[in-house]
Amino acid sequence: MIRAVLFDLDETLIDKTATVLTFLPLQYQRFRLGEHGVDEQRYIAEFLQLEKAGLVRKRDLYPRLVETFGLPGDLAAALFHDFETVYPGMAVPISGARQTISALKQYGVLVGVVSNGEGNVQRPKIAAAGLNEGLDLVVISGDIGLRKPAREIFELAAGRLHLPVDSCLFVGDNPEADIVGAENAGMHAVYFGPKNAWPASLPSPRYQIELLPQLIALVRDLNALTEGLMATKRPRLR
């Protein structure tokens, strides 16, 4: 039985791309980067490219960004501080996120978030997007020294809910960090994203959705299937 649904945060509950694309032009203007000869669109493109290359920690990303544009080295710390303090409050929820959490709570399952990142950034994003209400658990990698796809972070989340891992279902957009990680820990996992974005190098996901509200029917179907299997295994009374 699925007794808890755990979500990744960025690009699963939070529209990270929309949030970043709202934040970066404002940061560009606040720091008057145009006066340093920096093109706004290139600034945004380089930021996104560095993220894609794996520099998800902005403390590491901004020094590279400053170096790329030949900006004063001490500007990296100021840009990073601006990101930490302003960006989280601009978080945009993914379409259907709040409604899906509410529906899952009404159905009777626990709901939580397990996210890679820094707590002082991720937690304010959850609040700004209006997602706090209904969450029974929030686990942030930076708070505990573990990162997805390490199985221990999934096990820790289940343990904090006092549930076995196989009664938890994890939903995320990252094939390796979210789906492979959760399944290696013994959880059920749902890939949130288009089928054509799944890497050919990995086995196809067992469950996949493209809209968050589709998750509600999936959880109900999985529990109905489990109940049916349990019923067939019960000894008949004579």
Bridge partners, 207 (sequence order): 190
pLDDT value at 218 more than 50: yes
For residues 101 and 153, what is the distance between their CA atoms, to the nearest angstrom?
Answer: 21
* Model confidence, pTM: 0.88
What are the angstrom distances between the C-alpha of 110 and each of 82, 149, 176, 185? 34, 22, 24, 18
What average pLDDT does this structure show over 50-72? 88
Average pLDDT, the chain: 93
- pLDDT tens, 67-84? 999 999 999 999 999 999
What are the angstrom distances between the C-alpha of 32 and each of 25, 43, 81? 10, 12, 16
Residue 232 — very low, low, confident or very high, per pLDDT cuts 50/70/90? low
pLDDT value at 187 more than 70: yes
pLDDT value at 59 more than 90: no
- pLDDT tens, 12-34? 999 999 999 999 999 999 999 99
Phi, psi (rounded to 5 degrees) for 3: -110, -10
**pLDDT above 90: percentage of residues in the chain:** 86
Predicted pLDDT at 54? 66
Instruction: Pick the closest to residue 172 from 203, 193, 141 (CA basis).
Output: 193
Instruction: Pick the closest to residue 188 from 166, 156, 210, 161 (CA basis).
Output: 166
For residues 175 and 12, what is the distance between their CA atoms, to the nearest angstrom?
Answer: 12
